[in-house]
């Protein structure tokens, strides 16, 4: 197991800079997820950590050793690829044992270790099959087996679940989590799926355009997003953003919506300038009586039942808000309703230019 | 609609009465149109059927028939005379027949194996080590010999190999005088002129070299296509698994192109066993050169048919050659077919 540190890491492809001075420390045994929209550089970053790509500047440190110059093999890391990258001409057992065979481990021992890894992942019955004879989930497992068999210092996962269907994806997610709890190997997990990141990781790193936006535990990111990008990226359905103007009267700060509704907000936000964006999480908005505290008037545009809750699209001050309604209230289209939200659940961000 | 127990599922209240009153009329096409419909597909595939029948099926059957006849084509069809298995007996009795089969096998192996031993690493380097524009330029260049007329190539090599004025001998003499080379090429001066195409030991290697030169580029194209199908992820996975460059080639790339290798080797076997033009031109069409060292099976078959006008015997030889090729190919399929055609990918 190893502690992985990235120090001022940058990467350019020709004139295009894809990673900008990244600093990140992954503690020994920690599970860190790198999340971001496609093209944010997260896979490139993982490939640099793996040693498949060279950093343009900066250092990769594993257990206090700078490993920039080392090959993937010398770094002793294992990687699970999005495409699984199983060797089609080898059986499951040969796939799992390949890296041991290449490192010169004796045949009998390769066999024992490969079988043990297969046992852990429930692949024992499939050892003689070729990858083409396996289902997506089974291939995924073989790819994991290939990673755990060598007892690496760190696991790198590159969107390992994105080729699976939704049900299998959540099953495999649980399995990865269980595996990590069992082997406690330092893991870095790249995904574009925030749910995957939130459910699996001890800490989540949000990347956008090659720049780290925020690093934190899932609940920190959810409760205290550093900027509107993080706020919009974390949480499902996504956070609503509403234009507003900050007004101060006495020692109270209010956010005024375009329709004149005034919501009291924390004084801490006062310096963000008059033009701001309010961030309102759909699950924090509730249907309310017109005279309730912080009531915001709106009209119903759409009602999407999901069974347990209804997703409402409510037009407020010319903007559409998503509301998660767990009371399952039966609403007509175009009905006038009021929404309320607790003051401490209102996030405020500077207005994007 | 709510369904009550008295209202059986799927039966509309109006259904039964209206449907059964009038007898049903069958709508269809007139007989003429049906005919057209049946004939149209045949019409479309008829060009193939006609060409296949005239140029493949008929000659095949006719040569089978011919192999049991004695026939001089110059004397017309009426001169055919049934001789039973005599043609086969005659052919198998002829030492030239066996010599030509030996030469064919020798040339197939000596000119076949190097094509692949050269093409595989060259294709691998072109695919993995250079930019795609450079790769395409080189691949195209290597391919040029394949699309050039064999007769033209053979004629050019004929002059290169020429004993007195050929470039090859002149170069050898020149190189043998260089400081380092002189120590082991000292014999060259004495041996001159080396008769590449006029001595029985050198004819076959000389022919083999021309064949290798001509067909390696074709195999490079096939192997390049094969290496291009290997996903980059597999190489990445191999690197993470600890493979160095050679191990990536040996453990990943090479096994992955097995189907391509199988295909290329099959083509080489079939093509080399029918080798005719190169030996024919390089031996000046002179019965396979000195001691028939350059006489291949196809060449022999040509001599029997068109020089000696023994069409029946030539047909018999062609069937023997067919059997020979079929057996070699079958052996190849038996040993390599499972992995070569296997559906791993």
Q: What is the CATH number of domain A4-233?
A: 3.40.50.300
Cα B255 to Cα A33: distance, rounded to the nearest angstrom: 35
pLDDT digits over A297-322, tens only?
999 999 999 999 999 999 998 899 99
Contacts of B32 (CB under 8 A, 6+ apart): none
Question: Cβ separation of B241 and A73 shorter than 8 Å?
Answer: yes
Question: Cβ separation of A85 and B247 shorter than 8 Å?
Answer: no
pLDDT digits over A258-301, tens only?
888 888 888 888 788 788 999 999 999 999 888 888 889 999 99
CA angle, corner B203, sides to B198 and B206, nearest 5? 120
Count of helices and strands (H, E) across chain B: 18, 2
User: Please, which contacts does B66-75 make with residues 24 or more away whose CB atoms are closer than 8 Å?
Assistant: B66/B311, B66/B312, B66/B315, B67/B312, B67/B315, B67/B316, B67/B318, B67/B319, B68/B312, B69/B311, B69/B312, B70/B310, B70/B312, B71/B311, B71/B312, B72/B309, B72/B310, B72/B311, B73/B309, B73/B311, B74/B309
Is residue B228 one of the residues assigned to a domain? yes
Is residue B156 one of the residues assigned to a domain? yes
What part of B 326-345 touches A (C-beta under 8 Å)? Answer: 343-345
Question: Cβ separation of A102 and B241 shorter than 8 Å?
Answer: yes
Nearest to A83 among B233, B239, B255 (CB): B233
Domain A240-350 annotated CATH 3.90.245.10: no
ipTM, 2 dp: 0.84
**Closest-CA residue of chain B to A77:** B240
Is residue B108 one of the residues assigned to a domain? yes
Would you say residue A246 has pLDDT above 70?
yes
pLDDT digits over B127-148, tens only?
998 888 899 999 999 999 999 9
Would you say residue A251 has pLDDT above 90?
no
Count of structural domains within chain B: 1
* Domain range enclosing B334: 86-162+197-341
pLDDT digits over B250-282, tens only?
999 999 998 899 999 999 999 999 899 888 988
Question: Cβ separation of A89 and B231 shorter than 8 Å?
Answer: no
Give B-chain residues touching A75 at CB under 8 angstroms.
none
Q: What CATH number does residue B157 fall under?
A: 1.10.3720.10
Asked if the C-beta of A306 comes within 8 angstroms of chain B's C-beta atoms, the answer is no
Domain ranges of chain A: 4-233, 240-350
Is residue A228 within 8 A of residue A243, CB to CB? The reply is no
Contacts of B187 (CB under 8 A, 6+ apart): none
Asked if the C-beta of A105 comes within 8 angstroms of chain B's C-beta atoms, the answer is no
The DSSP line for B268-325 is: HHHHHHT--HHHHHHTTTSTTSGGGTT--HHHHHHIIIIIS--HHHHHHHHHHHHHHH
Nearest to B242 among A87, A103, A131 (CB): A103
Q: Structure tokens of B288?
A: 């396979």
pLDDT cut 90: percent of chain A above it: 58
Is residue B237 one of the residues assigned to a domain? yes
pLDDT digits over A24-47, tens only?
999 999 999 999 988 888 999 999
Question: Cβ separation of B242 and A51 shorter than 8 Å?
Answer: no
Q: Which pLDDT does position A353 carry in this prediction?
A: 61
Output the CA–CA distances (angstroms, integers) from residue B272 to B40, B206, B297, in the order listed: 41, 15, 10
Q: Which pLDDT does position A59 carry in this prediction?
A: 93
Of the residues A79, A81, A85, A143, the best mutation for testing chain B's interface (the one with the most B CB atoms within 10 Å of its CB) is: A85
Q: Label residue A326 exposed, middle or buried (CB < 10 Å: 0-12, 13-18, 19+).
A: exposed
Mean pLDDT of A190-210: 92
Is residue B56 one of the residues assigned to a domain? no
Is residue B4 one of the residues assigned to a domain? no
Asked if the C-beta of B232 comes within 8 angstroms of chain A's C-beta atoms, the answer is no
Asked if the C-beta of B252 comes within 8 angstroms of chain A's C-beta atoms, the answer is yes
CA angle, corner A116, sides to A115 and A118, nearest 5? 60
Is residue B107 one of the residues assigned to a domain? yes
Contacts of A330 (CB under 8 A, 6+ apart): none
């Amino acid at each position: 197991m190893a502690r992985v540190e990235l120090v001022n890491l940058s990467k350019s492809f020709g004139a295009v800079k894809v990673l900008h001075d990244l600093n990140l420390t992954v503690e020994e045994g920690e599970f860190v997820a790198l999340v971001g929209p496609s093209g944010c550089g997260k896979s490139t970053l993982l490939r640099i950590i793996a040693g498949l790509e060279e950093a343009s500047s900066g250092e990769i440190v594993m257990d206090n050793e700078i490993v920039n110059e080392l090959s993937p093999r010398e770094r002793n890391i294992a990687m699970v690829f999005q495409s699984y990258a199983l060797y089609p001409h080898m059986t499951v057992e040969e796939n799992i044992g390949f890296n041991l065979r290449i490192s010169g481990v004796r045949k009998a021992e390769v066999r024992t270790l490969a079988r043990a890894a297969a046992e852990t992942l429930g692949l024992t019955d499939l050892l003689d099959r070729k990858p083409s004879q396996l289902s997506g989930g089974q291939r995924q497992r073989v790819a994991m087996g290939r990673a755990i068999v060598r007892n690496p210092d760190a696991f790198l996962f590159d969107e390992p679940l994105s080729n699976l269907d939704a049900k299998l994806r959540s099953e495999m997610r649980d399995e990865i989590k269980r595996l990590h709890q069992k082997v406690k190997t330092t893991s870095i997990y790249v995904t574009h799926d925030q749910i995957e990141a939130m459910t699996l990781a001890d800490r989540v790193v949000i990347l956008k355009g090659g720049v780290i936006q925020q690093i934190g535990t899932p609940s920190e990111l959810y409760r205290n997003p550093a900027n509107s990008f993080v706020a919009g990226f974390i949480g499902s359905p996504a956070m609503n953003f509403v234009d507003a103007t900050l007004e101060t009267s006495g020692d109270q700060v209010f956010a005024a919506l375009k329709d004149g509704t005034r919501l009291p907000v924390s004084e801490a936000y006062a310096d963000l300038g008059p033009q701001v964006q309010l961030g309102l999480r759909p699950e924090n908005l509730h249907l309310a009586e017109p005279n309730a505290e912080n009531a915001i008037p709106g009209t119903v545009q759409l009602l999407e039942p999901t069974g347990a809750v209804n997703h409402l699209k409510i037009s407020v001050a010319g903007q559409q808000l998503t509301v998660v309604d767990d009371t399952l209230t039966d609403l007509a289209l175009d009905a006038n309703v009021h929404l309320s939200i607790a003051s401490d659940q209102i996030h405020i961000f500077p207005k994007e230019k | 609609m709510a369904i009550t127990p008295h209202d059986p599922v799927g039966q509309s209240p109006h259904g039964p009465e209206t449907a059964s009153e009038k007898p049903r009329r069958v709508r269809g096409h007139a007989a003429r149109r049906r005919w057209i419909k049946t004939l149209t597909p045949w019409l479309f595939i008829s060009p193939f059927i006609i060409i296949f029948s005239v140029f493949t099926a008929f000659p095949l059957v006719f040569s089978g028939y011919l192999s049991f006849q004695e026939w001089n084509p110059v004397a017309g069809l009426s001169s055919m005379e049934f001789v039973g298995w005599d043609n086969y007996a005659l052919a198998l009795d002829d030492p030239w027949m066996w010599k030509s089969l030996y030469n064919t096998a020798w040339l197939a192996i000596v000119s076949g194996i190097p094509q692949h031993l050269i093409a595989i690493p060259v294709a691998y380097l072109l695919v993995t080590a250079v930019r795609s524009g450079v790769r395409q330029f080189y691949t195209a260049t290597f391919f040029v010999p394949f699309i050039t007329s064999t007769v033209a190539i053979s004629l050019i090599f004929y002059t290169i190999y020429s004993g007195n004025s050929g470039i090859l001998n002149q170069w050898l003499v020149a190189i043998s005088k260089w400081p380092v080379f002189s120590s082991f090429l000292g014999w060259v001066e004495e041996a001159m002129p080396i008769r590449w195409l006029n001595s029985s030991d050198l004819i076959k290697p000389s022919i083999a070299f021309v064949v290798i030169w001509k067909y390696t580029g074709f195999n490079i194209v096939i192997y390049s296509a094969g290496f291009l199908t290997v996903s980059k992820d597999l190489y990445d996975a191999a690197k993470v698994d600890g493979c160095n460059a050679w191990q990536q080639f040996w453990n990943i790339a090479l096994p992955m192109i097995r189907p391509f290798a199988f295909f290329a080797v099959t083509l080489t076997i079939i093509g080399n066993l029918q080798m005719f033009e190169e030996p024919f031109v390089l031996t000046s069409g002179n019965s396979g050169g000195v001691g028939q060292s350059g006489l291949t099976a196809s060449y022999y078959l040509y001599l029997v048919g068109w020089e000696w006008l023994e069409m029946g015997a030539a047909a018999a030889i062609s069937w023997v050659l067919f059997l020979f090729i079929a057996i070699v190919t079958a052996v190849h399929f038996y040993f390599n077919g499972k992995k070569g055609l296997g559906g791993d990918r």
